[in-house]
Homo-oligomer: A and B are copies of this chain.
């Protein structure tokens, strides 16, 4: 029986979330399917190379699927897998923390 309170297994989650931009890329994907250009606008000034690298890693880790539509102009869509969707409670906890800290710092002013 693994003791959850010591947070030892967290290393596997860190492998997914670490790296600048990754959490923000995933945040965008929780609101639905995204195209490459949508990420670039949302995450400016991210470079195309960094964005490509991060998305490719998330694909390799089974968090994101990439679908190419061979229309003119060609476009590519990114979507969370079921495994990626299961990260949702982490994002809820991160958002709750940010909102609570805002409320605390406002009440202290």
Contacts and interface: CB of A to CB of B under 8 A. Distances in A.
A57 interface: no
Contact of A13 (B9, B12, B97): B97
A23 B17 contact: yes
Given A13-B95, A87-B97, A96-B89, A23 B31 contact: no
Contacts of A98: 9-13
Contacts of A9: 95, 98-99, 102
Given A97-B13, A99-B2, A91 B7 contact: yes
**Which 8 A-B pairs give the minimum distances between C-beta atoms?**
A9-B98, A13-B94, A12-B98, A90-B93, A89-B93, A7-B27, A93-B93, A13-B98
Interface of A: 2, 4-14, 17-18, 20, 23-24, 27, 30-31, 83, 86-87, 89-102, 104
